[in-house]
């Protein structure tokens, strides 16, 4: 089984490294903004416009959309789904995955991340470098947990929400969908949908 990585940015580089660390075969990469024939040692297969021919050439390939922006990642996934492609996951060999964990398709778990027991991770989620997700949590589809984030037990994080680098969430809090938590913030109470919250304790500063 081979992988195709969509996204030729910094996030894509890390996803490629993860797949290589797991000794997976990578058929190539895709990106609408890259003209070079090769990127990061991989063939450039083209962009969305070439998807018909790519899917014919690699009918069994697993795709990973390696784009950090949650909304853009979701939009590209939806376009790929129209072609009925299959999505893989990328979990670094150094990540610690506890018991009774579910991880959805398209999700990436980066080096030294920890996901503890009875936690559900949705589809196309990013669990970034050295982030920790404790027991009984739920991270919903297309969320992004940044490097060094610490999520305590029993926390829910909504679809497409972004938890900034080094933020901390105390046990049992609930984060709505499409919400942004600023870097190094400490979340001690529930946050609604569509807000930006920053500080320690985190306070809502903006509605989205």
**Could you give the C-alpha distances from 100 to 120, 143, 191, in angstroms and in order?**
9, 20, 27
Q: What is the CA radius of gyration of the chain?
A: 17
Question: Does the annotation place 124 within a ligand binding site?
Answer: no
Question: Does the annotation place 121 within a ligand binding site?
Answer: no
Structure tokens at 88: 């893989």
**Could you give the C-alpha distances from 179 to 53, 69, 99, 122, 208, in angstroms and in order?**
37, 13, 29, 16, 8
Question: Does the annotation place 165 within a ligand binding site?
Answer: yes
Q: Which of 11, 92, 124, 135 is an active site residue?
A: 135
Using DSSP's 3-state secondary structure scheme, residue 72 falls into helix
135 is catalytic: yes
Give the residue numbers of the binding site for substrate: 68
Residues that are catalytic: 135
Give the residue numbers of the binding site for acetyl-CoA: 144, 165
């Amino acid at each position: 089984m081979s992988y195709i990585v969509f996204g030729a940015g910094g996030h894509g580089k890390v996803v490629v490294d993860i797949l290589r660390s797991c000794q997976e075969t990578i058929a190539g990469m895709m990106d609408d903004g890259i003209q070079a024939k090769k990127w990061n040692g991989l063939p450039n297969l083209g962009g969305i416009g070439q998807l018909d021919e790519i899917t014919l050439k690699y009918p069994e390939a697993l795709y990973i959309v390696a784009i950090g922006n949650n909304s853009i990642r979701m939009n590209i996934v939806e376009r790929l789904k129209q072609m009925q492609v299959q999505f893989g996951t990328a979990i670094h060999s150094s990540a610690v995955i506890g018991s009774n964990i579910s991880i959805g398709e398209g999700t990436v778990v980066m080096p030294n991340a920890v996901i503890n027991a009875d936690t559900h991770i949705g589809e196309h989620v990013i669990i970034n470098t050295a982030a920790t997700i404790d027991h009984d949590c739920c991270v919903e589809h297309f969320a992004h947990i940044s490097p060094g984030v610490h999520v305590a037990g029993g926390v829910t994080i909504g679809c497409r929400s972004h938890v900034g680098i080094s933020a901390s969430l105390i046990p049992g809090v609930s984060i709505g969908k499409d919400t942004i938590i600023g870097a190094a913030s400490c979340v001690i109470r529930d946050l609604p949908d569509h807000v930006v919250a920053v500080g320690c304790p985190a306070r809502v500063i903006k509605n989205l």
